[in-house]
Structure 1
Amino acid sequence: MWQRLPTRDKLAGWGLNLPTNCLLCGTGSETSDHLFFSCNYSTEVWTSFFSQSSLSRPSVFPDVVDWVRTVTSSKKVKVIIKLIFQACIYFLWRERNSRLHSAMLKPSHVIQREIQLQIRARLLGLDWESYKALATRSASQSSYLTLWFEMFQPRKA
């Protein structure tokens, strides 16, 4: 959020002689906005989580931050969106670093799967905490995982 990641455009601005192309797609200049939101690779990752819901995320960083805060009034959906946001940023940065330091490339569908597993594990923990806190669960109250599968889990083609 503070735009302090050492992306290639910043490193070049500090006087380092290195290419500024994006390590994920190879076409654009590696800025934070491009790397996380405009790059074809990252767009594939993001799109997979919002393709079946009526929600569509903005494509520039400052707008995404505001959108995450105000997209819905549902507390549980907002938690899921924040987890998607955090996980996508983390896994995309990790993939970028992996490509930089070890030249190991993962296709975007592998990153999507890793994010899905991470989020589902966290949502299961949140549901378990809610279950323990409530002696009886209302039938009308959806669990985090139910909302995840209804709104965000990519369906098999």
Structure 2
Amino acid sequence: MRSWGLQVPATCILCNAADETRQHLFFDCPYSTEVWTFFCSRLNLHPPALFEDGLRWLRNPSPDEFVKLVAKLVFQAALYSIWKERNVRIHNQAFRPAQAVILEMKQTIQARLDPLSRASNSRRTDTTLLGTWFNFF
């Protein structure tokens, strides 16, 4: 963003320990790592460390169709939530621990899975999307 001429801090506002790059902010920052570790460890997923590789991996992160959808929702919610936390810190000087972001993400994903679970036309009869979520979280 600095290369576009925007006046933003050069240092990551989440950890104050490294330059803010896309890779650092969303994946390498200890704050972001805590968020990713929480979700990936419970889903038993091991995404690659680099952003571009993660996008390719996200096409098929699991053989289980429900875990695949949950992983995609986690990825989307994590990027949004980490970016939102960054902006709140810059503009409002309000700071939340990673656990607060994790809780908010869990609530957001669960709320999204509820209607998807009800509308699912999956052939699976062993569980629902929301049931899969509750198995992990």
Tell me the TM-score normalized by structure 2.
0.90
Change (3 A) 1:115 1:17: closer
- 1:4-153 → structure 2 map (5 Å cutoff): 6=1, 11=2, 13-14=3-4, 19-130=9-120, 140-151=125-136, 153=137
Change (3 A) 1:129 1:31: same
CA distance in 1, matches of 2:37, 2:64: 21
- 1:10-64 deviation digits (Å, cap 9, x = unpaired): x1x3456664110111101100010000000000011111223331122210111
Structure 2, unaligned stretches of length 5 or more? none
The alignment's C-alpha RMSD in Å is 2.0
Secondary structure, aligned partner of 1:52:
helix
- Structure of higher CA gyration radius: 1
State the identity %: 40
Greater helix share, 1 or 2? 2
